[in-house]
Structures are given as C-alpha cells and as structure tokens.
Amino acid sequence: MAKIKEELKVEVAESAKLLIEKGLSPGRDFGDTSLRDKESGLIYILPRPSIHQPICDWNQVGPDDVSVINIHGENVGDPKVLPTVEAPMHLRIYQERTDVYSIVHSHGEWSSVFAGARQSIPAVTLDALETIGVEEIKCAEYARIATKELGDNVVKALGTKSKAALMANHGAVCVGISLDEAFLVAHLLEKVSMQVIFGHLIGKPITITWEDFGDAPTYEDMVPQEQ
Ligand SMILES: [Zn+2]
C-alpha cells in the first residue's frame, strides 16, 4: 500500500481556499481541485460533503477532509471522507492525460459566460496561447454533473495538448503539472474570456495562431551581438 502523504493533503486543502480567493468559486463551495502524486500515482482530491463531513464553505477544509483515491476511484484513505462528486471527471482526465498532475475545476465568472453559451474561446493574446497551449479553448458537449460521460466529453475537449476546456452550462477545467500551474491556467482563462467579450464590443477579436507566434526567440535574437 502506497504511503499517504500529509503534505499533499495540506496542499489540496489550501487550494480549496485559493478557489475562493481567486474568484473561481462564487458559491464558496463550487468547483474542486485535485493533484496526482508523481511517486505513488494516488490522487488527493477535495471532498464531497456528507453527514460525516458537513462542509458548506471551502474555507473550512482542512487536511483531514481531503480524500485520497487511486486511479480506479477506490478510496484508499479515510473511508468516511468521500471524494467530490466530480471525481469521475478528474479520474478520466488523469487516465487519458499522463502529463497532467493537477486539476482545478472552476466556476469562474468570465469563462462561465462562454460555458453558458456553449461556445469555445479563441486565444487572442500571446499569454493565453502560450500558457493554455491551444488556439481555441473548446467547450465540451453537455453532460450531467458527476457522470463518466461528463469526464469523457471534457477529455475530448481537452485533446492531447490543451490545458483548459469549458464544461457546457457549468464551468471550466484547467490542468497542469502542479496546482500552481493549473491555477495560473485558470487565471489566464478568465483573462482571455474577458478579453474576447470586450473584444466583441470594440470590433472582432482576432485569434493568434501558432504560425503568428513563430519560433521562440533565442538569446542571440534578444541580445545585440558584438560584431
Ligand atoms: Zn462544478
């Protein structure tokens, strides 16, 4: 049996507060986070409130409230601590994307405009293109919460490269190699969502493509060289 690491439970518990601080959980208990331990493969994930765990605000989450499951969804930690209802979606992402070690499922204000309209978001700035990794952040087909179908749809929208996808009429999913990166992606997703909405007010937002972006500049490109 793999060792359960207290420090990873602390990290996930702290990330619950970040969801609220960063405006990604307007109901204070919307959305959820998880991380995958690079050594054991175990997944540390926010809980599903229950009679044993009456949590109604993510600010109340402590390390003992964090659920630990394996890649098949079996609870390997405290049996009374159940994983979030969106655990099937988190699992589908970890199963398909071996490059992903953290997930932030948000209900952000600006990205929710696109989720509500079931519209994808074009990357209109360099930082969105570079950080999220695609020219278009896709909106997954609608599926009910807590279903494997929702996970399947999100996996399809993420594809092999994207670090973000929208969930139709629901919210967004951002991924990364760490919770820091997944939160950075979530921040950029809100920023690009706002940029596209305001872009429509002043004209037509223009997608920046990888062709526009070109190759990353080298040191020699940036620093004048002595002749
Ligand atoms: Zn949600």
Write the pLDDT tens digit of every residue in 127-165: 899 999 999 999 999 999 999 999 999 999 999 999 999
Question: Is residue 149 classed exposed, middle or buried when 0-12, 13-18 and 19+ CB atoms within 10 A define those classes?
Answer: middle
Give the chain's residues under pLDDT 70: 225, 227
- What pLDDT, on the 0 to 100 scale, is given for residue 53? 77
The pLDDT score that the predictor gives to residue 137 is 98
For the stretch 193-221, pLDDT in tens is 999 999 999 999 999 999 998 877 777 77
What's residue 227's pLDDT? 62
Radius of gyration of the chain (CA): 19
User: 125 by DSSP, 3-state: which?
Assistant: coil
The DSSP element (H or E) to which 180 belongs, if any, is: helix 179-202
What DSSP string describes 118-170? T--EE--SHHHHHHH-SSEEPEEPP--TT-HHHHHHHHHHHTTT-SEEEETTT
Question: pTM of the predicted model, to two decimals?
Answer: 0.93
Q: 73 CA distance to ligand 1 centroid (A)?
A: 18
DSSP letter (8 states) at residue 79: T
Task: Report pLDDT for 1.
Answer: 72
Going from the Cα of 148 to the center of ligand 1, the distance in angstroms, rounded, reads 14
Number of CB atoms found within 10 A of residue 97's CB: 18
Give the model's pLDDT for residue 168: 98
Distance 176 CA to ligand 1 centre (A): 18
| Ligand 1: centre distance to CA 31 (Å) | 4
Residue 114: the pLDDT is 98
**Domains along the chain with CATH numbers:** 6-214 (3.40.225.10)
Q: Which amino acid is at 77?
A: G
